[in-house]
Structure 1
Amino acid sequence: MDDINQIPFNFDPRIGLIVGIMVGFLVFAVSLDLTWAKVMSVLKNPKAPIIGLLAQFGILPAIAFLAGLYLSDAASIALGLLLVTCCPGGALSNYLTGVAKGDVATSISMTTVSTLFSIVLTPVLFTFWASMNTSTLEVLQNISMDPQQVIISLLIMLVVPVTAGMLLRANRPHTANHIRGMVRLIAGIVFFVIVAMLIGSNFKSLALLAQVALFPVLFTFVFAVGLGWGIGWVVGLLAAERRAVAIEVAFQNVALAIGLGITFFPSLGGIVAVAILWGIVHLLLGSGLALGWSHIRIN
């Protein structure tokens, strides 16, 4: 599997910066929904969001670790699974929760709070779980990561957009509501074009990597959906809340994962390939799940 680990993606050096900025815009759009009042509301009625966040950050990365350990011999695939599952929820989950007749308030609260927590949790959890696997640890040790680049990337993709979104929401709520959809749409379109370019210029590499990455991605994604729904059922969440948690746990911010993969692991195509495949899987299967749930009445 050493050959698989060394399959590279072709990146224009400028793509990394552009992707980082676009990810920042997407995170900024999500953060426009985050207010301290909403955080306090979650703290006052925290059951569904806390259960979901524990599943998302506490259990799912462990499942991804096991999937990378036992379902693939390629360290780059294992690292890709960890990177995706250590990222916060994506904005698409809020829309699909509405389609699925789930509790949109729970979904939005999970997305925004997980985005806030991800500033610390994403790098910490990724490093922790990667160090638990000898093959992924070896890869990390052989990759030179500039601490300054790490800080700058986290600032661009997470810290600055989260802070800016919260400040704008707090001081100019009308403006935040007005531009929220537009910012998300523009960033999403540009990011989609960039991903399409990445796929087009690396189609052969992606096809080769998909042969060993698709099953681990499918397994982890399906497990994530079942995890969110199952934990919600065990603790007695309402059906609408279970649907929201199930979608939120499985729908990671693949834009962030792709951006981090391009920035820090340009020589390991498997990491970006997993993020792209996760995005395709959660778009297709997740949309199908949401549509299916939309036809099932909630008692």
Structure 2
Amino acid sequence: MRANCSSSSSCPANSSEEELPVGLEGHGNLKLVFTVVSAVMVGLVMFSFGCSVEIRKLWSHLRRPWGIAVGLLCQFGLMPLTAYLLAIIFSLKPIQAIAVLIMGCCPGGTVSNVLTFWVDGDMDLSISMTTCSTVAALGMMPLCLHLYTWSWKLMQNLTIPYQNIGITLVSLIVPVAFGICVNYRWPKQSKIILKIGAVAGGILLLVVAVTGMVLAKGWDLDITLLIISFIFPLVGHVTGFLLALLTHQSWQRCRTISVETGAQNIQLCITMLQLSFPAQHLVQLFNFALAYGLFQLLHGFLIIAAYQAYKRRLKNKQRRQRLDRTDIYYEKKPRETGVFLEGSDEAAVTLEPLEPVCHHRALEPIDHISSCE
């Protein structure tokens, strides 16, 4: 492991464009698109999502970080292990296996916060998990990579992009802090900002997906890596949900941890691949990272669609139950009123002849009162 390269010409990240193979210029455009879109998305979306964070709830997550601990266990326990098992099961080449492992060791990305909002997850927990996993990546990424690659004979050193992790961390904390302040000072306006940011985040995800598909047109990708890029995020979502369920987390937290586990920081993975591998290997490795990102969005959209359909069905069921209870109430009410009136009429009929008789006998002499009694 080593830090970021400087200006040395031998560093793969500083290779000139003439040394790049044919087709890699498209990856340069891809990196530019991902950088610009990610910067806009992180700045706008994280500020808007920060408007949904309440200081009291955020402090409760930090004071009793059970949900954050489960999320970190999924992020740096299950995902690297899943990557290692996939590399062994599919008998990947060393370079391909390392690329898959790097993807599994990356922290959660901003995409997870957008998806969490649309599945009604715990936004306080989601933002806390994204921030904590980014901080933990400074030590957990090199540790996980060392543990899982110590038996492999690597021809190159893996470079941890500490600078990019720091930039990602700042781009998370600063907008969220401003959003929390806005929510504290202007709670009504913060709800409007949250809705705008959620819609903008969804649109940006679609832009990233469409842009990635356009740029990926005609690129060659090993079928094995394509299958892994499809399976990997799905396994992350399922295992994250199951682990959260086994640790007795609430349904809302289970959804949040599931989304956070499967959604990785693609830009950070691409940066690390560029810093660690020579130019002749970057095309295929970039294709894998891009394919993972596209399938990550696809799985996210499917999860949102399934949850929204379930939510709509549940609301319709509850509405029907309320209508049924209302109909039963109005059906019972006339019958109860009728019975009450019938009983009153009978009582009135029974008491009518007695009242005048007693009244009439009360006018008779005193010696006849006992007979009335």
TM-score by length of 2: 0.59
Q: Is the 8 A contact 1:87 1:257 kept in 2?
A: no
Between 1 and 2, higher relative CO (CA 8 Å, sep ≥ 6) is seen in 1
The amino acid of 1:112's aligned partner reads I
Deviation at 1:213? 0.9
Aligned CA distance change for structure 1 residues 112 and 8 (closer, same or farther; 3 Å): farther
Equivalent pair of 2:41/2:204 in contact (CA under 8 Å): no
Contact 2:138 2:162 in 1 (8 A): no
How many corresponding residue pairs? 279
TM alignment of 1:125-204, pairs within 5 A: 125-131=140-146, 132-133=148-149, 138=154, 140-141=156-157, 150-156=161-167, 158-173=168-183, 174=186, 193=207, 196-197=210-211, 199-204=213-218
Distance change (3 Å), C-alpha of 1:164 and 1:17: farther
2:82 equivalent to 1:82: no
* Mapping 1:1-299, distance limit 5 Å: 9-11=24-26, 13=28, 16=31, 19-28=34-43, 29-30=45-46, 32-33=49-50, 37-44=56-63, 46-85=65-104, 86-89=106-109, 90-98=112-120, 104-105=121-122, 108-131=123-146, 132-133=148-149, 138=154, 140-141=156-157, 150-156=161-167, 158-173=168-183, 174=186, 193=207, 196-197=210-211, 199-205=213-219, 207-209=220-222, 211-258=223-270, 261=273, 267=279, 268-293=282-307, 294-295=309-310
Gaps of 5+ in 1: 1-5, 99-103
| Cα distance, 1:208 vs structure 2 | 2.4
Whether the aligned pair in 2 keeps the contact of 1:8 and 1:266 (CA below 8 Å) is no
Distance 1:19 1:290, change over 3 A: closer
Cα distance change on mapping 1:73 and 1:292 into 2, 3 Å: same
Higher Rg: 2
SS at 2:258 equivalent: helix
d(CA) in 2 for partners of 1:288 and 1:153? 30
Task: Label 1:39 to 1:187 Cα distance change in 2 as closer, same or farther (>3 A).
Answer: closer
For 1:101, the equivalent position in structure 2 comes to: none
Describe the superposition over 1:218-250 as per-residue Cα deviations: whole angstroms up to 9, x where unpaired. Answer: 332232122122212322234443333223322
Where does structure 2 lack aligned partners over 5 or more consecutive residues? 1-20, 316-373
Task: Evaluate the alpha carbon distance shift between residue 137 and residue 276 of structure 1 in structure 2; reply closer, same or farther with a 3 A threshold.
Answer: farther
| CA distance in 2: counterparts of 1:13 and 1:215, whole angstroms | 25
- Report sequence identity in percent: 17
Q: In structure 2, how many angstroms separate the alpha carbons of the residues matched to 1:263 and 1:183?
A: 33
Moved more, 281-290 or 263-272: 263-272
Q: Judging changes above 3 Å, is the alpha-carbon distance between structure 1 residues 171 and 232 closer, same or farther for their aligned structure 2 residues?
A: closer
Q: 1:35 & 1:155 partners in 2: Cα distance?
A: 25
Task: Note if contact 1:97-1:290 (Cα within 8 Å) is conserved in structure 2.
Answer: yes
Q: Which residue of 2 aligns with 1:3?
A: none
Q: 1:217 to 1:80 in 2, by over 3 A?
A: same
CA displacement at 1:116 relative to structure 2: 1.4
TM-score (norm 1): 0.71
